[in-house]
Amino acid sequence: MQDKIQKLEQRIQILTKALNDLQNNYEEKVLELSIIRKTADLFTYEFDLKEACSKTLDILYLELLPEHSSILIRNPDTNIFEPYAVKGKKIPGKGLKKGLSTLFGNRFRMGVGAAGWAAQNKKIIYIPDVTKDTRFFEGFEQKVKISSLICVPLLNQDNVEGVLNLSHSSVNAFPKRNLNFLNILMKSIGAGIGNIRLFNEYTEANSSLLKANQDLQNTLNDLHETRKVILNSEKLSGIRVLAAGIAHEFNNILAGIYGYSELSLLNKNPYEIEANIKNILKLSDRGTEIVENLLTFAGKSKISKKTININTILKRLIKIIRPEFDNLGIALKEEYGKLDQIRCDSNQISQVFVQLMANAKDSMVEYNGGTISIITSQKKDLIQVNIVDTGKGIEPEILENIFDPFVTTKGAFGGGIPERHGLGLSLAYGIIKEHGGDIKIVSQPSNGCKVTVLLPSGPSRK
């Protein structure tokens, strides 16, 4: 009976020990799961990498009780590991920072020392007693009292993000069974570090993109304002071309008004006086029309598209500019074919032809005159306006890029006279393109130039 009782007591002791081991193992697993959950939660809301590393050490310090711990992060550009967080108790005779920096605070390269070896091989270094394992740091325990050491590479898939170091002054301070847990933890922390890197890279890239967009918008605004200034300057250049003709027209109008006024004062016949007044009114209307055309060209009146014949635009324009061209010895020959009407912005189309006429005139000034032929025709639904001059022509290297902004044979950019910005043909080309048309130029040096403007008849395609 006594033997049975002893055996039963022994079995109870074995079962009790087994239950205690299970309880301890259960509590240890709960603790490990708690650490994993806390670190995982940490990396979901913390996006400052140094702060995340520091808080991670706080969690491990409370749960695993290392005396010293650190996390070093790999710089992807230099492949050097740099300390982001260091924690531990003060070392007698040395300050915390100074003492720990001997082990954990120094930067190191892949493969150098225990932590470097762990990172290079992507395996945990577990040393329960450093006095019996001096592969990585012989005599190191004399500088800082360390007996147990674990170096954990922090892996984000196959990429090493950093290294976690844990140490203690006691031998076997970290049970070997912790290695399975640390294998899980190193991937969790590594993934968290990788996510923070991606978030910070995205934030930095997004910030750079926003700044670049703002800089681009500012540049576009500046370009828009500059374009308006230069466009107005080009319009004024065109107005100068018209000025001589307008002055001639106004002189004729004023002379007519003066003459009819004198006749009315000398004449007693009321019918003749009435006729003179009507003629004065017609001349006034003509002056008003010229002013309105000038204001429209200068962009001071409301611009709208309307149906009009291209021949009409050309005839009005040539009537104004002819006096100046005559004074320069330049003959204007007109040959108008039968054209359909086109719906267009007559102000813009007028600007195009003023620019083309001005270019032709300038190319003949040094030749002391010449001839400009204006020929219109239509093939099916395509209206064609040819402006042919006998001027100096265009060099091939300039002709190749003639419609590019700031390309010119005259003025500040071209070195000729008069001054131009080199935007006239570029703007003219843009206007014709907006009306669904095209401009083609054929020229050879010293053999004149032929400019062909093509426009679709009927409603504008744009």
**440, 418, 421: which is closest to 429 by C-alpha?**
440
> What pLDDT score was predicted for residue 89?
61
Predicted TM-score (pTM) of the model is 0.46
Model confidence at 417: pLDDT above 50: no
Tell me which fold the domain 303-456 belongs to.
Heat Shock Protein 90 (3.30.565)
Whether residue 229 has pLDDT greater than 50? yes
The alpha carbon dihedral of 416, 417, 423, 427 has a sign of negative
How much of the chain exceeds pLDDT 90, in percent? 18
pLDDT tens figures, 175-210: 887 788 888 888 889 988 988 888 888 888 888 888
**Secondary structure (3-state) at 82:** strand
Least confident of 30-39, 92-101, 205-214, 224-233: 92-101
The widest CA-to-CA distance across the chain, in whole angstroms, is: 166
Closest C-alpha among 372, 402, 399, 401 to residue 385:
372
| Mean pLDDT, residues 382-402 | 88
Give 414: exposed, middle or buried? Use CB within 10 Å, 0-12, 13-18, 19+: middle
151-155, 215-219, 301-305, 336-340: the lowest-pLDDT one: 301-305
> For residues 133 and 114, what is the distance between their CA atoms, to the nearest angstrom?
11
Q: Is the pLDDT of residue 219 over 80?
A: yes
Q: What's the whole-number mean pLDDT along residues 245-274?
A: 75
Enclosing H/E stretch for 383: strand 382-389
Whether the per-residue pLDDT at 227 is higher than 90: the answer is: no
Position 445 confidence tier, pLDDT thresholds 50, 70, 90: confident
CATH class of the 2-202 domain in this structure: alpha beta
Cβ atoms within 10 Å of 271's Cβ, excluding its own: 8
Q: Average the pLDDT over 354-359 and give the result.
A: 88
Q: Tokens for 126?
A: 């577990």
Average pLDDT over residues 153-162: 92
Higher pLDDT among residues 222 and 387, named by residue: 387
Condensed to tens digits (0 to 9), the pLDDT of residues 102-157 reads 345 577 788 888 888 899 999 998 988 887 776 665 544 445 577 888 999 999 98
Mean confidence (pLDDT) of the chain: 78
Question: What ranges do the domains of the chain cover?
Answer: 2-202, 214-302, 303-456
Does 233 or 461 have the greater pLDDT score? 233
Question: Mean pLDDT: which of 3-7, 112-116, 136-140, 245-249 is highest?
Answer: 112-116
Q: Which residues contact 125 (CB under 8 A, 6 or more apart)?
A: 114, 115, 117, 118, 136, 149, 150, 151
The pLDDT of residue 385: 96
- Residue 242: its pLDDT value, please? 59
Is residue 413's pLDDT more than 50? no
Task: Say which CATH class 214-302 falls into.
Answer: mainly alpha
3-state secondary structure of 122: coil
Locate 461 and state its tokens: 């395609």
Output the pLDDT for position 155. Answer: 93
Q: pLDDT tier at 26 (50, 70, 90 boundaries)?
A: low
